[in-house]
Each structure stands twice: as structure tokens, then as C-alpha cells.
Structure 1
């Protein structure tokens, strides 16, 4: 079953030794359409700090009980790099967080989590045959863009927030209509499988489901998603019923209809807007 990304807002983050705070926002990349971090508001527990927690740390998600359990201690999170929510998350910030926790960089390998398909898989079981993981990590660190004087790499806004993209307009091949209402994720891989598009302001309808594989471009300047679908194709996309989210067979069919093979295939990388 797929789950609504917006539903995670407000979920309690439970560490090994107590609660850490609540989910404030979620960051994903538009290369593999995969959730990379949960932004956690620690409230008064850590002086009001906001921190980023990777799905690498997630043990389980209790969707009914609204709680995410992580394999971390409160002290670990307290000492982790913080986040300035006023600026996008740059690759350097990601590297700092991954280095702190000892996680492998997901951009070092061929899969959505580097050398694994899911964030919780042991990296040793998927280590590349030629380059050891430590060597790959060192090389990825060397390949990071140089930082500007203010400590942030210029033109390196690698991740964006869910809160920012929800509400973006939909630019079809022949019309501009609809808005991004939500995303549906696979709990195991944390990949965004489907985009929920709200169309009711443009025609008598509701919300429909579109594959992220049909996104040609994410335009941050225009605040829109550009699709390689016509308005008619979007209108005839499967309707979204939040009470009955798509099952495996349902979203596999949506992906096949998108012309990109099985749902397990990764969406292509959109061009920068």
C-alpha cells in the first residue's frame, strides 16, 4: 500500500530513549523522486532546534498511531548538524549529516540509495566489486561543489521541501491547470510513486494520480511541474480516493500506462527549471 506524504506532518519521532519531537516537513529529490530527510521540530526538547533525519534511521512507521520510530538516541540527534529552513538543503549539508551518522552517500551508486534499493539494507551486502564503499565515499566527498564565501555552494539547491512543492501548478503539454495536492510514497524505499493532482478548480472532478515519470521539468521559478501529458490524458488519469490508496497492482498499471515499464523503475531525471 502507498501512503500520503502529507499524512506524515505532525508524526511523533520516537528515539531509543524517548521522543525527539514532531515531523515539520519532508525533503525529497526530483532526480529519483525519493524522500531523503524528515525535518523534525524538537520544540523545547533541544532548545527549539530543527534537525534532519534520514530514512536510514527509520525502524518503523506507525501510520495509525502517527509515530516514526528511529534507531537513534536523543543525544545523537542533539549533537547532529542543524538546519536553516530559510535556505534549500545543499549537497554539502547532506554530506555533513551522512558523515555524522556514518551513512553511505546515496549519490555514489546506481540505485536510489546508492548501492542499495532501500535505505535500511546493510551496505556490505551491496558493496560494489571494484571500488570499496569507503573509497566511493571519499571520492564523492571530493566531488562536492566548492562552497561560496557564505559557506553555501552557489547554485546547489539539491533538495526542496514537500511544503514548497505542494501547491505548485501543473503545466500539461497543451494547457496550464491543476495543482500538486500530495505525493504517495512506498514505505520500504521511501520513493514517491505517484503525484496527486487536484483538478477541481479547472473542471468538475476531483483528484487524479500521475506518475512522476511523466514530469519533464520542475520549474522552481514558475512554481510548476511540467508534464509530458496532455490535459485530456490527465483528465482521464485514475482518480484518487484517500480512503482507498492504490495497491501494488493499481500503481503498477499506472506506471505501465505512463510508458515507463514497471513501477520499480526509477523516474528519469527532470531538467532544472
Structure 2
């Protein structure tokens, strides 16, 4: 069908909300948004994402321009089309990743969308960003309580809950002896999309004590245990 071009995540709780699939190499010439409820399995050995949908169903999905702001109204049309539970209505974020037969009329979310004025791809002072793509956030500066410590290079997510657990931080501009370390998203205090900066509650020293992260080595519980003890 295509290749995963982007992943959009919720800046409030770090849950991946959509895959953006680029179908141009397969001759379809469009980018398709798919929520995680459409994903059947990820085959990491083959680098293949298996969906529970047919191609024609996906090709008929509502189009969203990634270069323009996205509203709750557009999201409602999208999740309704796929028959997914709107994640913003879920009290439990994990349940938001499951398919549901219940649908919500886009009109039901217009007023909350107006009230919150939440849009994407904008740095306007009075407008909140509720979704970011990994491409957008890639390269953001990580600001510790006592100064900058690196830039985001990648993201590590849980393939069962679609929760981004860690940020991979490139620290070479700050520490010659370090390459990449992990920063838990639980340690993130806030995201400033206008300044392309993510603020953490940790100090530079605390982050410097983290074990070096090697991207080509599987992330196992033993490493996570060592990471959280640091």
C-alpha cells in the first residue's frame, strides 16, 4: 500500500494517534491517515505494518493536508470512517487504541474544538498544539532545569499501547564523551512548539549519568532497569 511517512503523537500524554502512509511509490499519489486501531500487527523483522483494512477502504478515507492545521472536526470524520473510538473522549488512554462500533458525529466536537482552539502546525501565541509529528519534533532541543543537554534524534514507543516511552537524545554538541542517551517521557515537563524545545524536570548531571543508548541493540528490560536506577 505504501510506506509510513510520519507518526503523529498527542503532546499531552505521548500516545501515537495516527500513522501517515505515503502511497506515491505504489501509484496512488496520496497520503493516508490511519489510527492505531487499524493496525493488526507490526512485523519488526520484515519492517512491515499489517493493517486490518482493505486497500479500497483506505483509499476512500478522508484526506488531511499535513501542511495545514488539523481540527477535531477533521479527526472526527477520520475516526468515524474507520469505526474507531475517538481518543479524546476516552478517560483511559489505553482504551482509545481499540476499535469500537460507536461513532461520533463531527458536529458533536465542533464546540469543544472552538473552545480549546487546538490546531496543528502553528506557532501562534494563543493557539494550543495538540498533535505533533515525529518529523516536526525531531531535532527539538532538550532543556534540563540547568540548561540545554541535547537534541531529539528519535522516539521509542511501546508497540502494544502505542505510548512513546523514551526520547533518544543526541548529546554530542554538549558532551564529547557521550553519543546518545534515553530520556523518559515521564520526565518531560512541557513542550514549547514555538521555541522547538522540550523541557525536562531532570538536571544535566542526572541525564549525563544515564547509560549510553545504542540504537542497533534491542531495548530490553535489563537496560530499562539500569536506566531507571541511574
Aligned match for 1:234, one of 207, 210, 215: 207
Secondary structure of residue in 2 paired with 1:163? helix
TM-aligned CA deviation for residue 123 of structure 1? 5.0
TM-aligned CA deviation for residue 88 of structure 1? 4.0
- Check the 8 A contact 2:211/2:226 in 1, yes or no: no
Structure 1 residue aligned with 2:114:
146
Structure 2 residue aligned with 1:179:
151
- Check the 8 A contact 1:89/1:158 in 2, yes or no: no
- Check the 8 A contact 1:170/1:180 in 2, yes or no: yes
Q: Which has the higher helix share?
A: 2
- Check the 8 A contact 1:108/1:140 in 2, yes or no: no
Which structure 2 residue ranges, 5 or more long, are not aligned? Answer: 121-125
Which structure 1 residue ranges, 5 or more long, are not aligned? Answer: 1-19, 125-132, 258-273
Question: TM-score, length-normalised on structure 2?
Answer: 0.85
Secondary structure of residue in 1 paired with 2:206? helix
Structure 2 residue aligned with 1:68:
49
CA distance in 2, matches of 1:189, 1:49: 28
TM-aligned CA deviation for residue 164 of structure 1? 0.8
- Greater relative contact order (CA < 8 Å, ≥ 6 in sequence): 1
Structure 2 residue aligned with 1:27:
8
CA distance in 1, matches of 2:92, 2:8: 18
Secondary structure of residue in 2 paired with 1:144? helix
Secondary structure of residue in 1 paired with 2:191? strand
TM-aligned CA deviation for residue 231 of structure 1? 0.7
- Check the 8 A contact 1:90/1:157 in 2, yes or no: no
Query: CA distance change for structure 1 residues 64 and 141 in 2, over 3 Å: closer, same or farther?
Result: same
CA distance in 2, matches of 1:33, 1:71: 24
Structure 1 residue aligned with 2:89:
108
**1:158 aligned onto 2:130:** yes
Question: TM-score, length-normalised on structure 1?
Answer: 0.72
Count of equivalent residues:
221
TM-aligned CA deviation for residue 243 of structure 1? 2.4
CA distance in 1, matches of 2:131, 2:24: 24
Instruction: Provide the aligned C-alpha RMSD in A.
Output: 2.8
TM-aligned CA deviation for residue 200 of structure 1? 1.2
TM-aligned CA deviation for residue 160 of structure 1? 1.0
Secondary structure of residue in 1 paired with 2:74? helix
Structure 2 residue aligned with 1:224:
197
CA distance in 2, matches of 1:222, 1:208: 22
Query: CA distance change for structure 1 residues 238 and 111 in 2, over 3 Å: closer, same or farther?
Result: farther
